Amino acid sequence: MSQKLKFLNGDNSSFFSVLRKRVDEYFINKQLSKHANASMVFKTVFFIALTVVLYALILTGLFPLFVQLMLAIALGVTMAFVGFNICHDALHGAYSSNKKVNKGLGLLFNIIGANGYLWGITHNIVHHTYTNIPGHDEDIEIAPGLIRVSPEDKANKIQRYQHIYAFFLYGFTSLSWFFRKDYVKFFKKRIGNKETKHPRIEYFNLFFYKIIYYSLFIVIPLLVLDITWWQFLIGYLAMNFAEGYVLGLVFQLAHVVEDTNFPHPDSEGNIQEAWAVHQMMTTANFAGRSNLAHFLCGGLNLQIEHHLFPKICHIHYKGLSGIVKETALEFGLPYHENRNFFSALRSHYFLLKRMGKMEERV
């Protein structure tokens, strides 16, 4: 869609300036950096080391096939956590104040199959600006024609069953991303509202890092392991289905749940709220008090804090959440949150079910 959008300064336009001041005071008073701390470094070492160990164990071929399969599944889940906990912060420039550190850690995103440069456009720029706006935020275009999450989406009869089959489709998230999505988006003229003109080096990087990924996870295992092609295929698909489910579910639970809005601009391209207020209306947290969720999801369970402060390392989001919630309520704004992962999953399920019904079609 080529229509340019504009966020209007509504009655709550001062919300973000007040919140930002309070957040800055939080870091000053506690004498904290907004970037990674010792806990974040530990997470980084832990997830990278676990990935390398699982990959090496698989390549040894010393285990029974069933154990190899379990290791492949564990590797897929761990790579998703590498993306959440390390690459996501690095690509936002939030991991470190040193751009070289962010760039270096961001390259891990390419190694595990995705294109970091393209992510910077589709996610950092387009999604974070036009969150949940149909036709602009391509992150909510999960499977066009098959999954409908907004009244603005085109409806068809098969979608009445989407609350059942959507969870099967989420397993294909990483396969679609690594083999189709990056290529399709890279060669599109526009991504959301942004026209794409890529530097020449990024054409090289796209294919260079894809070859590295395909070599590491397809070519080398086939050459090293004493297994048949179909045994490898089962393991590779299992790894990607596990990774896909983790990626798909965590991202959907942040924006595609019952309470979040899917605003539609007026004929002049205006969104009737200030940008920060728009983020509060379109974003939701889950399991905000869970240390385990925070450790595994890289702060993506505290999506509200992330959308308001993407340049702050996620290791600080839990400490900021009380400030954000208090300020939002003070300004009469929503603070959408589900108590745990399963309540968020339930909310996502019921939104899918509602959007698949005839009376919800436009």
- pLDDT at residue 1 is higher than 80: no
Give pLDDT, residue 11: 57
Q: 188 vs 38, which has greater pLDDT? A: 38
Q: What is the pLDDT of residues 137-183, one digit of tens each?
A: 888 888 888 899 888 888 888 999 999 999 999 999 999 999 999 99
Containing structural domain, residue 178: 6-360
Let me know if residue 305 belongs to a domain.
yes
Section 1-21 average pLDDT:
78
Give pLDDT, residue 360: 52
Q: What is the pLDDT of residues 194-224, one digit of tens each?
A: 778 899 999 999 999 999 999 999 999 999 9
Q: Describe the crossing of helices 229-255 and 65-82 by its angle, rounded to 10 degrees.
A: 30
Let me know if residue 325 belongs to a domain.
yes
Let me know if residue 229 belongs to a domain.
yes
**How many domains are there within the chain?**
1
Provide the percentage of residues in the chain whose pLDDT is more than 90. Answer: 79
Let me know if residue 269 belongs to a domain.
yes
Give pLDDT, residue 7: 83
The tokens of 288 are what? 């905000």
Residue of 148, 129, 155 lying closest to 307 (CA atoms): 129
Let me know if residue 1 belongs to a domain.
no
d(CA 97, CA 95): 7
Let me know if residue 168 belongs to a domain.
yes
Q: Which amino acid appears at position 294 of this protein?
A: H
Give pLDDT, residue 194: 72
Give pLDDT, residue 273: 84
Section 113-141 average pLDDT:
89
Tell me the average pLDDT of the chain.
92
